[in-house]
Amino acid sequence: EAGVTQFPSHSVIEKGQTVTLRCDPISGHDNLYWYRRVMGKEIKFLLHFVKESKQDESGMPNNRFLAERTGGTYSTLKVQPAELEDSGVYFCASSQARGGGANVLTFGAGSRLTVL
């Protein structure tokens, strides 16, 4: 089974530019999550998709961030325009539809964003 794939693995852009991060979840996983780790801080929840619908976007920092999941498959996270404080590692995770007990998330390797 292929894991969660994210790309690019590393992106370096200048302040004010736009970057789009992509996540391909495990096939058949309805739940898709984005998390972010800013340097020296803890990993923080950004948002949660169930199929193509946003279930919870309470962690999105501001309206410069736009996440989409058209067709309920892969997801993109666009940052426009990027600011210095957006630098960090963006993780994507996926899980199957909820059954009994907790959903175990499978994480991707992350996309490192550096804004200069």
Query: Which residues would be at the binding site for another protein (CB under 8 A)?
Result: 3-4, 31, 33, 35, 41-45, 48, 55-56, 91, 93, 95, 98, 101-110
Q: Between residues 72 and 81, which has the closer beta carbon with respect to another protein?
A: 72
What is the closest distance, in whole angstroms, from the C-beta atom of residue 111 to another protein in the complex? 11
Structure tokens given for 62:
């501001």
What is the closest distance, in whole angstroms, from the C-beta atom of residue 32 to another protein in the complex? 9
Q: Between residues 13 and 105, which has the closer beta carbon with respect to another protein?
A: 105
CA proximity to 85, closest of 64, 109, 107: 64
d(CA 46, CA 55): 11
What is the closest distance, in whole angstroms, from the C-beta atom of residue 14 to another protein in the complex? 25
Rounded-to-10 torsion of CA 4, 37, 19, 17: -170
